[in-house]
Amino acid sequence: MNRKITSTYYKWSGECGKLLNIFWKGAKNRFPIFLVNLFAASAVYSLLMVNQLVNQLDGLWHGSVSYAYMHELQIGRWFWLYLDRARMYLSPDPVTSVISLTLFIASILLILDLLEVTFRPVRYAVSLLFTINVSVLVSLSYRYMSPTFALACFLSVFAAYMIIRCRKLPLMLLSASVSLALMMGLYQADLGCTCLVLLLYLSLRLLRNDASLKELGIFLIKAFIAMAVGAALYYLLLYLNLRYYDTELSSYGGASEYGIAETLLNLPEGWKKALSSFQEYFKNSYIRSSMLPGKAYIVFFIVTAVHLIYGGIMLFKKSRLKALLFLITLLLIPAACNAVMFIAFDTFLSVQMTVPMSLCFPMLIGLCSNIPVPRNPAGGAGRVIFAGMICLLLYGNYLMVQYDQQAMYMGMKSMKELAAEIRTELQALDLYRPYYQYCFVGTPADNPLFVKNLVYEKANSYATIGTWDADDTRFVIQSWQGLWTHEMGVNLRVADDEKLVEALEDENVRNMPVFPERGSCAMINDVVVVKVSDISQM
């Protein structure tokens, strides 16, 4: 028995040594790319980091301090509790953003290795396309949980890396399944990263025609087993934590209906939602990932498709079956990116869930770099067109990131100035007391004192501070409370939903003038009401 244990130990240690050797051999090539990405990202996101900007959603509600507890556990994010404790609940910038960027960059570097991208300019371009992206920016704007997003992304890619690189099944299952379980315990949407990496690695092997169908089948079985074990481990750890904290899953995002049987029954609906989410993202309208028009993505997809079709034709001459399988892998990309849609039934696409889709073009470009282009005028023109497309994509990403940051910066300045003016008026009216309750009715961005520049029309909604809808009472209360607590540093009590609804329906409030006019602040029904914009049409 001892001999078997010793033999297993040496086999595993030998496998680990091989993996570490492979990893460190490429470190010399990765390090310059890592530094360029970190320097470029720090410069691009400097407005956010220096000014400690946050989005107008949970970012504003929580600030730099996170106390992940029952809510996170009840929606399946059990590991978040332990990660928050490990960093003692604090997430100050710029340190937090630098740590998060490091994990995002490490993720794309692992992907470059798996896709065997060797041409240095492509490695820089592909990595920067992912690093400078709205999906990364929005993760950073949730400052209190940006390390959670970033670590989830890294673990999802690392799980795929171990499935692909690790040859010993026990070691692969241990490392990949644990990574998957921890990732899903942080943020389930990044399951799409694992699926996309595995899918496009399969595309690469088919395209290169360097693996038999049997070998590819074994790889798929390995991947399926690893993901199944990872899912089972996730559910086991989740329910152990639910039992320990004496709680149960909530209905938020369909969390209470998580399960393998439910996932299988949800496959047709999940496919529809995955495809519609993919289309929605690349329409570039509801969620804007680039300053380029949505139609530009159609052109980029056509250019990429032409390149991949050329590679497929070359493959078709060698193996028709592999060419067909190669086409199928490309058609499955939307499903892979939005794999979470098959699990979380009631969820909807939000900008923080788009990391897997933001990897699409970088990974497809990496895949295309493996296709040899003929050295003739047509091939030269193709290279120029493809290089131009990459430059335009990067430029569009950069501009969109800047617009969103500028919207957060200007919006936060206006909100803080508006809040300061309101505080001054409340003090003048002797209505400024820590034991009073306050209702703020109307949309702050519609106040005549609120400064809005042209970026508000083109920025994503998460970045347009102060545009929250007065009808969404939960949004209004948490946003105002977050503003006073985290941005103004004032212990001012914002009244609850019931008081806000009562104020919105009160005719006296409706007839009040808008701040800063005289009479815009008043004590009504034991609550201090401040009318920040017109609500007559509500």
Across 171-185, 377-391, 463-477, which has the greatest mean pLDDT?
171-185
Claim to verify: residue 425 and residue 289 sit in the same structural domain: no
Q: Contact at 8 Å (CB) between 229 and 221?
A: no
Chosen domain end from 350, 372, 394: 372
| One domain for residues 416 and 500 | yes
Say whether pLDDT at 531 is over 70: yes
Report pLDDT digits (tens) over 131-189: 999 999 999 999 999 999 999 999 999 999 999 998 888 889 999 999 999 999 999 89
Residue 161 maps to a domain: yes
Please tell me whether residue 313 adopts helix, strand or coil conformation: helix
Q: 6 lies in a domain? A: no
Judgement on whether residues 455 and 362 belong to the same structural domain of the protein: no
pLDDT of residue 509: 87
At 376, the pLDDT band (50, 70, 90 cuts) reads confident
> Which of 311, 344, 372 corresponds to the end of one domain?
372
What pLDDT sits at residue 104? 97
Task: Report the alpha-carbon distance of residue 308 to residue 327 in Å, rounded.
Answer: 9
For residue 292, give Cα distances in angstroms to 122, 303, 391, 400, 506.
Answer: 21, 16, 12, 9, 45
**Res. 13 pLDDT band, cuts 50 70 90:** low
How many domains, in total, are found in the chain? 2
Q: Do 78 and 192 sit in the same domain of this protein?
A: yes
Residue 146 and residue 45 in one domain: yes
Q: What are phi and psi of 84, to 5 degrees?
A: -60, -40
Q: Which amino acid is at 238?
A: L
pLDDT in tens, 492-529: 999 988 888 888 888 888 889 999 999 999 999 889 99
Residues 357 and 456 in one domain: no
User: What mean pLDDT, rounded, does the chain reach?
Assistant: 87
Residues 331, 466, single domain; the answer is no
Give yes or no: residues 255 and 307 share one domain. yes
Torsion sign, CA atoms 359, 60, 411, 439: positive
pLDDT (tens digit per residue) in 79-138: 999 988 888 888 888 999 999 999 999 999 999 999 998 888 899 999 999 999 999 999
Same domain as 244, residue 182: yes
Q: Does a structural domain hold residue 314?
A: yes
In-domain check, residue 403 = no
| Local confidence band at 3 (pLDDT 50, 70, 90 cut-offs) | low
Structure tokens at 413: 């300045």
pLDDT in tens, 228-243: 999 999 999 999 999 9
The two tokens of residue 253 are 């995002």
Cα–Cα distance between 267 and 332 in angstroms, integer?
A: 13
Contact 253, 343 (CB under 8 A): no
Query: Could you tell me what percent of the chain has a pLDDT over 90?
Result: 53
Q: What pLDDT sits at residue 251?
A: 64
Q: Does 1 reside within a domain? A: no
d(CA 108, CA 41): 13
126 within some domain = yes
Are 132 and 397 in contact by the 8 Å Cβ rule? The answer is yes
What pLDDT score was predicted for residue 86? 86
Domain interval for residue 304: 16-372
User: What six digits make up the tokens of 67?
Assistant: 């106390």
Helix (H) or strand (E) run with residue 486 in it: none
Helix (H/G/I), strand (E/B), else coil: 437: strand
pTM for the predicted model, two decimal places: 0.91
Do residues 366 and 220 share a domain? Answer: yes
Distance CA 59, CA 41 (A): 20
303 and 357, same domain (yes or no): yes
Question: For residues 172 and 16, is the Cβ–Cβ distance under 8 A?
Answer: no
User: Is the residue at 344 inside a domain?
Assistant: yes
Q: How confident is the model at residue 15 (pLDDT cuts 50, 70, 90)?
A: low
Q: Are residues 422 and 367 in the same domain?
A: no
Structure confidence at residue 218 (pLDDT): 93
Assigned domain for 10 exists: no
What does the pLDDT look like over 306-364, one tens digit per residue? Answer: 889 889 899 998 999 999 999 999 999 999 999 888 887 667 788 889 999 999 999 99
